Amino acid sequence: MTPEDIKQLVDFQVNEITESKIYSRLANIQKDTHNSEVLKELSAEELKHYHILKKYTGKSPSPKHWKITLYVLIARFFGLTFGIKLMEKGEVHAQDSYRKWADEKDLQTMADEEEVHESKLIGLLDEEGLNYMGAVVLGLNDALVEFTGALAGYTFALQNPKLIALTGSITGIAAALSMAASEYLSSRADNDGKNAIKAAIYTGIAYIITVVVLIMPFVVMSNPYRALVVCLTGAITIIAIFNYYYSIVKDESFRKRFLEMAAISLGIAAISFGIGYALRVVTGIDL
């Protein structure tokens, strides 16, 4: 192997030992025994790869401690599956690079394990929050589509930011409770009542958080149209953050989901704004 090859393998070696330490740290803080065992197996897999690479490099590099701390914190705050899958996205480059040494059987085996075995192990992780992702999607989708439309309509019809905020708050809270109740009844019917309350709570919380973010501009700003622009910007930001998270944990396309959800939300907002204008003209009501 050339010096450049050795240097590249050392970089991969650092990555393998770093990820082994991350998995080990996460395994030690897991309350769920099943998840802890899966993480320990992943840690052992990465450590094995580290020692295989050592046969080629002759070196024992240390892990990146900052990266260990970073991904452990990400997993703690944003969920185990998100943290691990975000980290593993970097493995694609390593797999492709291992393939170029076609004559080295150990490296080809490592590439296969990175591609198949580890993905299979990650799929075995059981995280309660992800079981309610559908409820969160329901709450966010409904809030973003329905509520951005309602606020856009209120903006032109009422033209008073405080009145828009008050009306929007009443509408949002009532809609959140309605969505939570609907999700409870739907989950109870589908699953014989199992986890129906949790599904309803996830839906309601997702809706309420979205309502608060969208209403806040009308509370703190005096110009209703500028507040609406900030509100719609907040809606796009929520859509981007959620769909990035969703694309990571579900291995789906971020671009497709983001553009679809943004187009629907902004489209409904534009239609509702037009309806508010039309009603103001037709009724002649001027507040």
CA distance 47 to 28: 16
**In the prediction, which pLDDT does 152 show?**
79
CA distance 71 to 93: 19
Give the predicted TM-score (pTM) of the model: 0.69
Positions of CATH 1.20.1260 in the chain: 3-126
Q: Encoding tokens for residue 263? A: 């187009």
As averages over each run of 10 residues, the pLDDT of the chain (287 residues) reads: 82 90 90 84 88 88 92 86 78 63 73 68 63 67 76 80 89 84 73 68 84 90 90 86 81 80 78 72 63
- CATH fold of 3-126, please? Ferritin (1.20.1260)
**In the prediction, which pLDDT does 286 show?**
56
Which class for 132: exposed (0-12), middle (13-18), buried (19 or more C-beta within 10 A)? buried
Which class for 7: exposed (0-12), middle (13-18), buried (19 or more C-beta within 10 A)? exposed
